[in-house]
Amino acid sequence: MTLLRDIAHTRTGDKGNRSTLSVIAYSEVDYPRLCAALTPERVRQHLAGVVQGEVVRYELPHLKALNFVLHQSLGGGVTRSLALDAHGKCLASALLHWRLD
């Protein structure tokens, strides 16, 4: 079984009620695999219950990365949320447990 964390790492950021999450392949060989597996719809489904809004994906092939903007994902915003750890780093950690096969 291959998990996303076996072939990629993440970087995140939070702004308002939106989180940005980048998934970066370790190898150029795995970048197409990321593109095929991580559609905006599937990412939103994987993070269901946390991400309430639209998920927008930007492709950055020169960096072997996908950048996702997760709208309405921070419970009103980092400083307004009552959740203990609903910030981008926790969302990235949840995504890294994605089963690729």
Tens of pLDDT along 13-72? 877 888 899 999 999 999 999 999 999 999 999 988 888 999 999 999 999 999 999 998
pLDDT at 84: 47
| Residue 98 reports pLDDT greater than 70 | no
pLDDT at 73: 81
DSSP 26: S
CB burial class (10 A; 0-12, 13-18, 19+) of residue 55? buried
pLDDT at 24: 97
pLDDT at 25: 97
Domain boundaries, the chain: 4-96
Domain 4-96 CATH (choose: 1.10.1530.10, 3.20.10.10, 3.40.50.80, 3.30.70.260):
3.30.70.260
Task: State pTM to two decimals.
Answer: 0.81
